[in-house]
Structure 1
Amino acid sequence: RQLTLHLRRQMGRAINAKRVYRLMRLQGIQSVIRRKRKKYVGSTPQQVAENVLNRNFEAEAPNQKWVTDVTEFKYGNGQKAYLSAIKDLHDKSIVAYVLGHSNNNSLVFRTLELALQAAPESRSLLHSDRGFQYTSLHFKQMLDEAELTQSMSRVGCCIDNGPMESFWGTLKCEKYYLHTYRTFEELQKDIDAYIHFYNNERLQAKLNGLSPIEFRTKAA
């Protein structure tokens, strides 16, 4: 598209973008920005839930609404780590998190177990995307046993889980992107330190200038 626009200006004539694309392919010329992602064959989910949260990201009390997701980090020689976390929409605190070597069911299940241990009396709404862990029957069974209400983003609508995506961006910009990690242990140490800082010391304007834990304590 960029090349087509420049050719039109330089030559002063109408040029079809599809023709430019065809000629680029013949010459082996490829854009380096916004390449098309590989298409993956989606699996059929075992179960899905409605978007109960419906982008209503305000909560009147702690443990009323939780959002969760998994994100990827790289370290060493192309190795990957995966962070699963649950965030409380009332005070923006990270209720529970687990960093692991694989993006699998146990990573997500363990995160939920830690959240329930931290807030055993909660009957939260838990919102996620439609990742395979969250659509599994076992995850639904865990929610039912804890009397939690399940909510899921619509297909392809990452903004439905905006607060969790926002936290990933904050974590990566303020900590991860500033360092190079050689080992899993180095990455784990910094993530532990950052989440502790985020929960206890990072002041937020939306929380009246308090940290998440300060705001949570005041509400309690």
Structure 2
Amino acid sequence: MTSHGMVPVLKSAKRYSSYKGEIGGAPANLVNRDFHATAPNRLWGTDITEFSIPAGKVYLSPVIDCHDGMPVAWTIGTSPNAALANGMLRDACATPRPGETPIIHSDRGCHYRWPEWIRICTEHGLTRSMSAKGCSPDNAAAEGFFGRLKQEFFHKRSFRGVTIDEFTAMLDEYMVWYRDKRIKTEYGMSIMDKRIQLGLVV
């Protein structure tokens, strides 16, 4: 882009990173950039993203089902801590049907290497998978979701005068809309409506 005199319309701020160095051994990258899943609850992706508004910073931690891009569960908070990630994981683990044990793929952030995260994964039969260090394409399912979310909900909007609580409510409302109402072109209906049509949701 530089050599052709091109500049992005939106300048990105310094990206939030949860990497805090190597904390014990990391699981293998079982996904190897293949984020296709033939059915729900076979492959999940997760990450944490930061929103900086005049009132402060807000963090979103979702689990995305790689089958259809559904946000299975999410938490929103003002600190990217273990409680944010673990709470989201516990909520997500309540959704699979008996016998469904997803692979859960993440980056190498510290949240995904702490004992409680590992315990929840083990308790629910989830298989952990991790990206290589500092390699965004290795976690493309979550990164792609964040890109769409920020383009539709966040960029080119002013949140001046919006409180943290108000922003949190707006973000949660968007997430519900994305799951239940946003039309997915491939289906001609929302992700939730498609799952209902297939009998995957009662």
State the secondary structure of the residue aligned to 1:67. Answer: strand
TM-score (norm 2): 0.83
Alignment counterpart, residue 53 of structure 1, candidates 31, 44, 47: 31
Relative to 1, partners in 2 of residues 1:34 and 1:110: Cα closer, same or farther, differing over 3 Å?
closer
The equivalent of 2:66 in structure 1 is 89
State the secondary structure of the residue aligned to 1:133. Answer: helix
The equivalent of 2:190 in structure 1 is 211
2:81 aligned with 1:101, yes or no?
no
- Once the two structures are TM-superposed, the CA of residue 204 in structure 1 deviates from its matched residue by 1.9
State the secondary structure of the residue aligned to 2:50. Answer: strand
Letter in 2 for 1:211: S
Whose Rg is larger? Answer: 1
Letter in 2 for 1:189: A
Deviates more, 1:107-116 or 1:119-128: 119-128
2:172 aligned with 1:192, yes or no?
yes
The equivalent of 1:141 in structure 2 is 119
2:140 aligned with 1:175, yes or no?
no
- Once the two structures are TM-superposed, the CA of residue 35 in structure 1 deviates from its matched residue by 11
The equivalent of 1:8 in structure 2 is none
Deviates more, 1:84-93 or 1:207-216: 207-216
Relative to 1, partners in 2 of residues 1:163 and 1:76: Cα closer, same or farther, differing over 3 Å?
same
Higher helix share: 1
Count of equivalent residues:
185
Alignment counterpart, residue 156 of structure 1, candidates 119, 134, 153: 134
Letter in 2 for 1:166: G
- Once the two structures are TM-superposed, the CA of residue 126 in structure 1 deviates from its matched residue by 0.2
The equivalent of 2:182 in structure 1 is 202
Any stretches of 5+ residues in structure 1 without a counterpart?
A: 3-32
Relative to 1, partners in 2 of residues 1:44 and 1:189: Cα closer, same or farther, differing over 3 Å?
same
State the secondary structure of the residue aligned to 2:148. Answer: helix
The equivalent of 1:16 in structure 2 is none
Letter in 2 for 1:109: N
2:74 aligned with 1:70, yes or no?
no
Q: How far apart are the structure 2 equivalents of 1:142 and 1:63? A: 16
Any stretches of 5+ residues in structure 2 without a counterpart?
A: 3-10
Deviates more, 1:145-154 or 1:209-218: 209-218
Q: How far apart are the structure 2 equivalents of 1:149 and 1:51? A: 11
Q: Which runs of 4+ in 1 moved over 4 A?
A: 33-37
TM-score (norm 1): 0.76
Relative to 1, partners in 2 of residues 1:143 and 1:87: Cα closer, same or farther, differing over 3 Å?
same
Is the CA contact (8 Å cut-off) linking 2:103 and 2:127 kept in structure 1? yes
Q: Deviations over 1:104-129 (max 9, x none)?
A: 11110000001112336331010000
Relative to 1, partners in 2 of residues 1:50 and 1:213: Cα closer, same or farther, differing over 3 Å?
same
